[in-house]
Amino acid sequence: MIKYYPKLVLSFSEIPGAPTLLIHALTGCQFHCFKCFNYSQIVKNPGDDAYLITDVVDYIKKQNDLFGYIVFSGGEFLNAALNDLIADLTLVKSISDKPIIVYSNGGNPEKMQVLDERQLVDGFHVDMKLPYHLLYDDDADLIELTIGIKVKNPKVFFAPYLRALELTVALDHGFSRIRSVEYPFLNASAFEENRIFIDKLNQKHKKKTPYDVNQFIYPEVE
């Protein structure tokens, strides 16, 4: 059973040009990224109150005309059990024709593939925090500063994240994106390496998945 943060957000900044219903799942996160906006309330201290999918569905039924997309975020939404993901997304698909987007850090590529095969997700917006394909043991401090955890073997650790990036492109039906955050301690070359990597994936799979570098904004409250 997936629990959801009991504040659904109608956002005008998630998807360019379209109001979006943003739903945060209380499914934890592998990372504790630098100055993460959601970590305190969504991951670390979610509180006792929570919505279930029935509450989410009731809201969607009442407000379906107000938004053009439905976004599931976290934390990391795909940390939930696959059966629960399938059940909840199937229920949402049954009562709304709005495209469903999943935000992900890329740690669960096998779930991405299953959800795409079952046509339960229309697009994935996956974060590329660093140029994963270029990281070595010597980059341990930079990795920890960025994602908040110690990584002993970057090549092994980031293999599924690289797989998720490739799936994002390969499975793109016109709704997917890959994104980086312009963390203040990263050199511009990091984002250029990311862009080159994504360009190669687009060429390989004959797709045009966008790559965005989003401005870093310090949270008002730690």
Q: State the Cα angle at 159 between 179 and 198, rounded to 5°.
A: 35
Burial 98-120 (b: 16+ CB within 10 A, else e): bbbbbbbbbbbbebbeebbeeeb
Stretch 189-212: mean pLDDT: 98
What are the sequence ranges of the domains in the chain? 9-215
Per this entry, what is the length of the chain? 222
Q: pLDDT, tens digit, for every residue of 37-81?
A: 776 667 766 667 899 999 999 999 999 999 999 999 998 999 999
Give burial (CB, 10 Å; 0-12/13-18/19+) of 66. Answer: exposed
The CA distance from 201 to 105, in Å, is 18
Cα separations (Å) of 75 from 18, 37, 65, 172, 190?
Answer: 23, 10, 27, 23, 24
pTM here? 0.94
**Residue 42 pLDDT:** 73
HSE-CB for 137 with a 13 A CA cutoff: 2
* Superfamily for the 9-215 domain: Aldolase class I (3.20.20.70)
Q: What percentage of the chain carries pLDDT values higher than 70?
A: 95
Short-list 182, 179, 178, CA closest to 209: 178
pLDDT higher than 60, residue 156: yes
Q: pLDDT, tens digit, for every residue of 197-206?
A: 999 999 999 9
Q: pLDDT, tens digit, for every residue of 75-119?
A: 899 999 999 999 999 999 999 999 999 999 999 999 999 999 999
Q: State the Cα angle at 77 between 191 and 110, rounded to 5°.
A: 80
